[in-house]
Structure 1
């Protein structure tokens, strides 16, 4: 039996383009902590590192991206842009891709759902990363699997189930 490859290492580039995101160091820590939680949960291993870009922007920028790449002329909370179309199951490409997150939408949703901003943001980073890793929610079965992973990842970070119905949301 061959030895298991080492845990996957991800080189992460975080950039802030626009919005009221606050302390860049805190954003970087949140992205690194969330990424590590996803990788541990999925038990991803690879002999070579991969790359991930995370861009924090505003509603205007994400609306333009959403219109250009998805044909939807509206702001959204998170977009994921995989670097490679389809990779085999368990295969981690040399570059995962990019995640783009919009400040105003995240802030509005967190307020409406009665969630701490950082909890909602952590969920969206995990959600975006799972898309880059091949997860989707186009049908009920896919959505249930993706939500199961999100719940486990967030639970490991001491963040309540984002899908639970509460008095606030």
Structure 2
């Protein structure tokens, strides 16, 4: 299984987080030419309170956020706007860890409502976004953001999700 899911906030269980995350992560890896069977991602479905604690511990920002990611190793590109080199799986039969993602219920639900999108579409977008972070993509510069957002739009389009960066029609 690509996603190793720990649900701390049961609302994620009812929303089908593990299934939607597995689909979004698989499509992200496949879009980038990576075999989803070779990789594993740990996913935490949590509350705003829990993600605020994690955000404080790891980023020094004691407030909730929608999604956090922790790559298992540094994979970023050296040049702004360049694609990171694709990771190589460890030899052997076990999947290689790409890292960890945490997603917060209240923030995700509020953002999806404010944007007029379904919770499933928004959560899928955040999993694609988090998976790209695990692969070394970021949005620290305009060039990096354009690359990452372009990939998100392409991947989400394959899932049947509208461009999250455009206002709903």
CA deviation map 1:96-116 (0-9, x unaligned): 000000000000001111111
1:23 to 14, 29, 35: 14
Structure showing greater relative contact order (alpha-carbon pairs closer than 8 Å, 6 or more residues apart): 2
Quick check: 1:57–1:100 contact (8 Å CA) kept in 2? yes
Partner of 1:73: 62
Partner of 2:86: 90
Quick check: 2:74–2:136 contact (8 Å CA) kept in 1? no
2:39 to 50, 72, 78: 50
Corresponding residue SS for 2:64: coil
How many positions carry a matched residue from both structures?
156
| Length-normalised TM-score, structure 2 | 0.85
Corresponding residue SS for 2:152: helix
**In structure 2, distance between residues paired with 1:100 and 1:140:** 25
Quick check: 1:19–1:104 contact (8 Å CA) kept in 2? no
Structure 1 alignment gaps of length 5 or more? 1-9
CA deviation map 1:52-93 (0-9, x unaligned): 101100000000000110011110000001111237712235
1:1-169, aligned counterparts within 5 Å? 11-18=2-9, 20-23=11-14, 26-45=16-35, 49-86=38-75, 89-93=85-89, 94-166=96-168
Deviation at 1:35, TM superposition (A): 1.2
Deviation at 1:20, TM superposition (A): 2.1
Moved over 3 A (4+): none
Deviation at 1:19, TM superposition (A): 5.2
User: Which stretch shows the higher mean deviation, 53-62 or 11-20?
Assistant: 11-20
Cα RMSD after superposing both structures: 1.9
**In structure 1, distance between residues paired with 2:156 and 2:135:** 17
Structure 2 alignment gaps of length 5 or more? 77-83, 90-95
**In structure 2, distance between residues paired with 1:116 and 1:85:** 33
